[in-house]
Structure 1
Amino acid sequence: MKKGNYNRLWQWHFYAALFIVPLLITLTLSGIGYLFYTDVENKAYDDLFFGQSEKTEQITIDEGIEKAVEQYKGYFVSKVIVLDDPYNTRLTMTNDDGDQKYVFLDSNYEMIGSQNAKHTFSNVMREIHSSLFVGGTVVNYLVELAACWAIFLLFTGLYMTFKGRALKKIQNPTKRQKNKKLHALVGTIITIPMIIIIFTGLPWSAFMGNFIYSAAQKHPSIGIPTLKQQPPISDMNEIPWATRKNKAPTSSESHAHHGDMSAMPGMSMDSGMLSVEQLINKVEGANISKPYSIIYPATEEGVYTVSKSSNTGVTGLDVSPYDEMTTYFDQYSGNLISLVSYQDYGVLAKWFTWGIPLHEGHLFGWPNKLINLFVCLSFLFVIFLGIKTWLSRKKEGKFSAPPKASSGLSIGFIAFMVILGLVMPLFGISLIVVVIIEGIIYFINKEKK
């Protein structure tokens, strides 16, 4: 690239950093917090995760669920999480407004206590990291945009490091030159790991994440198997004759009755549905080991969904990507209808399955956490050095931005931007906006001259 293009990249690098640094610091710090959410929660929620109720009577899991529903009026159980020892069983309870709470049952299935789902450490960290705890489409796009421009910063920083003099040996370097060299050196070292961390987090993003997920659904051969997208139905012959022709309730209809245990999925003796205890026996009979989650059927034709996942976001529930599976059990007979395992996934779905736990820092245990922590801390250090370098050359009363590019755009510069824009569509859209703004400023200045 020409000298003018070097200056242009430097200028864009500078302004991009200036605008997204606050977001990047927030995302990196919340990401570090999320890296250790299992360790924090095991300590902070020790009584709920591992404690025992004062009641020592052994009851069934269905009786424990019934007590939970009686205790928390207006809430219904939508999911049962069966964890391996020494973890207690966890119920996800939801009300009609979508509010959730987690209720814990000890080894005797007696209630220990509950949590407001919004206020758990993992969910707070996740909300800050993905939507700045504000939520909404605009904020989600803003977070994704910051991640995309961070990749731009890393690539342009890499180019300027090797094209410029950042790593060249200088006799008696000034403090600013030392900071600049260290900024360039550390940035170069973490470029590839940081790009991997960012790209493995994009499946969650609002724009690109939705695009990737849609592609995975549309093309099962490379993405998500059709069976996982369209779960089977239970055998309707198992429904009692008297209620067989009844219209299956919609989600909203069934939710409206969940305060009454007689209408709870798995609890209605008249419906012929399997109880949770019976289902667990069927699950064990199918050689499915703990941990796993049980999702209730939403309708009379629905099935029990029993799954093991590598990226649940629940302490104690994650498994190896190779062990990930989704199984469907008939809600009346308890027969295993079908199973989708990791081996059935396409390339894209397998990338999700490995990439997300790698991003979260639990794919290969503590080494994964420590590597991610090192990369994140180094990234914060690079940001700090960049700000320090700018402040050290900033003249009093002036903005001290990089020099303007004098030459036209080269093919190399255009190709670089187009490729990044195609790989990251939201970045591409923002790029068009930047070009339009620069064009307007150019014509305004031209008119003044």
Structure 2
Amino acid sequence: MSAFTAAEPAAAATQNISLYRAIWRWHFFAGLLVIPFMLNLAITGSLYLFKDEIANTFYSHRYVVADSGPMLEPQQIAQAALAAFPGSTATSYHEASAVGRSAWVTVSKDGQSTIVYVNPHDGSILGSVDSKQEFGWVVKRIHSLEYFGEWTNRIIEIVAGFALVLVVTGIYLWWPRQQTGGVLTVRGTPSRRVFWRDLHAATGAIAGILIFFLAFSGMPWSGYWGANVNAWLTAHDLGTPAALWDDVPKSTKVTQDVVSRAGWVVENAPVPLSDIAAAQSAKPIGLNRAVEIMHGLGMVAGSDLAIPADETGVYTASHYFGDLGNERTVHIDQYSGKPLVDIPYEQYPALGKAIEWGINVHQGQEWGLFNQLLMLATCLAIILCCVTAVTMWWKRRPAGRLGVPPMPPQKSVYVGLWLIAIVFGAAFPLTGAAIVAMLLFDQLVVRFVPPLSRFFS
């Protein structure tokens, strides 16, 4: 009886050790794969949080003007931009957001889109930039790796999923187990590995919830998961209010095809058509009248207005920055001036509102400077976690080997990890597939190929 009783704690201890080692090994592999991408996300994310401040500092000649009297009409501003690029057509108009700010017009010629910055008081050209070279556009697409192609954007989706895994497994590894130090304190000096271990663990524990939030709130932008979730929400009336299009003809374009920035909930919503019959007998209202209508509907200063590309197109007024309460998209018939579809934030379903709120906080737009600084601190915590992870790995790795944490004594613990992988894969398919590949490589390749086993050990 005594031998049986003594065996139980020993078995439990072995089970605990096995689970700890399995999760540590999983945490290590996930970190090894994503650290370079996490560093990119954190650095470019930090820049994007302050894109407006950076633009106003380094490109002030484009954005800041002297208040020199009345402003020109929108059509005059657009004509000034078109005169600077003969043969082009205006595709969108962004009015001055405040006194002392420029207006800008996006023009298109031979398939190339250019943003032209105009002094709204005298029509002088302040500068221009290719739409795909504008600072915020470039930073955002490097952030998502969309700048380099669709397949690289899929990598970021996998990385975001792994970030969720790293936070959860990291909290498990950090969780106090009778130790007296290294929980929220840092022991030793930078010359010792324990210093970097404690700094890594404490940083992850303190910032873990915010890192998890950043990773999860970034998923809606992902090319596969985000697109499918958006489509599912729309199909089940949980995203874009589908009933708004019941009485209007729809084009094959979606909102993100015609505006530079659109809310996530409405970016794939169809763009309606102007009254085709009216095109035969009525004249377009023109840009000046369209801006008046936009103002009459209560669109805030600094909104964007997409200009119809053909006789069936519509004016699309949109506002997508700052206070969520001002987020709004309105499609206006170019002949009658009638608002065909008006989608303010208040009309989003609850789930759509929650996702938009998460995106707004993610981008540092919800609570002003506090929001920006909070997200910046999270980005810096990610950078610190990456640096400390690499440093403590370097200090513990055996010469000439990778130094992967040892396999658990009881391989049966992998059954539970496989179940977790299956559940996670159902929620985030691309990351789930990567986890399965990682587990298969670990269990079927590394384990049974001696040279690899020695290298990874």
Deviations 1:378-422 (A, max 9, x none): 121122222221222223333322112231233543343333323
Q: Distance in 2 between matches of 1:14 and 1:121?
A: 35
1:207: which partner in 2?
224
2:83: which partner in 1?
70
Contact 1:328–1:338 (CA under 8 A) maintained in structure 2: yes
> 2:273 is aligned with what amino acid?
I
Corresponding residue to 1:429 among 427, 433, 437 = 433
Question: Displacement of 1:53 after TM fit?
Answer: 11
Q: Please list, as runs of the form range in 1=range in 2, the aligned pairs for 1:157-236 lying within 5 A after superposition.
A: 157-162=170-175, 168=181, 175-220=192-237, 222-226=238-242, 227=244, 229-236=269-276
TM-score by length of 1: 0.82
TM-score by length of 2: 0.81
Question: Displacement of 1:38 after TM fit?
Answer: 0.7
| 2:293 pairs with 1:276 | no
Flag the 1:288–1:183 CA change in 2: closer, same or farther, 3 A.
closer
- Counting matched residue pairs gives 408
Flag the 1:132–1:344 CA change in 2: closer, same or farther, 3 A.
closer
Unaligned 5+ residue runs, structure 2?
1-14, 245-265
> 1:367 is aligned with what amino acid?
F
> 2:365 is aligned with what amino acid?
H
Q: Distance in 2 between matches of 1:394 and 1:160?
A: 19
| 2:92 pairs with 1:79 | yes
Residue 401 of structure 2: SS of its match in structure 1? Answer: coil
1:3: which partner in 2?
17
Contact 2:181–2:187 (CA under 8 A) maintained in structure 1: no
**Higher RCO (CA 8 Å, separation ≥ 6 residues):** 1
Corresponding residue to 1:301 among 301, 304, 312 = 312
Q: Distance in 1 between matches of 2:106 and 2:161?
A: 34
Flag the 1:74–1:12 CA change in 2: closer, same or farther, 3 A.
farther
> 1:234 is aligned with what amino acid?
S
Contact 1:52–1:107 (CA under 8 A) maintained in structure 2: no
Corresponding residue to 1:30 among 44, 54, 79 = 44
> 2:218 is aligned with what amino acid?
G
Flag the 1:443–1:405 CA change in 2: closer, same or farther, 3 A.
closer
1:249: which partner in 2?
none
Q: Please list, as runs of the form range in 1=range in 2, the aligned pairs for 1:352-367 lying within 5 A after superposition.
A: 352-367=355-370
Q: Distance in 2 between matches of 1:424 and 1:400?
A: 29
Corresponding residue to 1:128 among 142, 156, 164 = 142
Which sits farther off after the overlay, 277-286 or 45-54? 45-54
> 1:417 is aligned with what amino acid?
A
Flag the 1:336–1:445 CA change in 2: closer, same or farther, 3 A.
closer
1:331: which partner in 2?
334
| 2:378 pairs with 1:375 | yes
Q: Distance in 1 between matches of 2:182 and 2:123?
A: 69
Flag the 1:65–1:442 CA change in 2: closer, same or farther, 3 A.
closer
Q: Distance in 2 between matches of 1:433 and 1:280?
A: 54
Q: Distance in 1 between matches of 2:88 and 2:16?
A: 65
Q: Distance in 2 between matches of 1:126 and 1:172?
A: 38
Contact 1:201–1:356 (CA under 8 A) maintained in structure 2: yes
Question: Displacement of 1:129 after TM fit?
Answer: 0.3
Q: Please list, as runs of the form range in 1=range in 2, the aligned pairs for 1:24-63 lying within 5 A after superposition.
A: 24-51=38-65, 59-63=72-76
1:17: which partner in 2?
31
2:299: which partner in 1?
288
Residue 13 of structure 1: SS of its match in structure 2? Answer: helix
Question: Displacement of 1:428 after TM fit?
Answer: 0.7
Flag the 1:370–1:443 CA change in 2: closer, same or farther, 3 A.
closer
1:388: which partner in 2?
391
Deviations 1:249-269 (A, max 9, x none): xxxxxxxxxxxxxxxxxxxxx
Q: Distance in 2 between matches of 1:172 and 1:141?
A: 39
Q: Distance in 1 between matches of 2:229 and 2:143?
A: 20
Question: Displacement of 1:19 after TM fit?
Answer: 2.4
1:251: which partner in 2?
none
Residue 84 of structure 1: SS of its match in structure 2? Answer: coil
Residue 75 of structure 2: SS of its match in structure 1? Answer: helix
Identity %: 25
Residue 289 of structure 1: SS of its match in structure 2? Answer: coil
Q: Distance in 1 between matches of 2:33 and 2:331?
A: 48
Residue 186 of structure 1: SS of its match in structure 2? Answer: helix
Q: Distance in 2 between matches of 1:167 and 1:96?
A: 68
Corresponding residue to 1:416 among 417, 420, 440 = 420
Q: Distance in 2 between matches of 1:94 and 1:380?
A: 39
Which sits farther off after the overlay, 138-147 or 108-117? 108-117
Q: Distance in 2 between matches of 1:109 and 1:208?
A: 47
Unaligned 5+ residue runs, structure 1?
242-270, 310-317
Question: Displacement of 1:341 after TM fit?
Answer: 1.3
Corresponding residue to 2:168 among 155, 167, 184 = 155
Question: Displacement of 1:223 after TM fit?
Answer: 0.7
Q: Distance in 2 between matches of 1:163 and 1:144?
A: 31
1:245: which partner in 2?
none
Deviations 1:312-343 (A, max 9, x none): xxxxxx24111212222221121233422112
> 1:76 is aligned with what amino acid?
T
Contact 2:322–2:365 (CA under 8 A) maintained in structure 1: no
Superposition RMSD on alpha carbons, in Å? 2.9
> 1:197 is aligned with what amino acid?
L
Contact 1:61–1:109 (CA under 8 A) maintained in structure 2: no
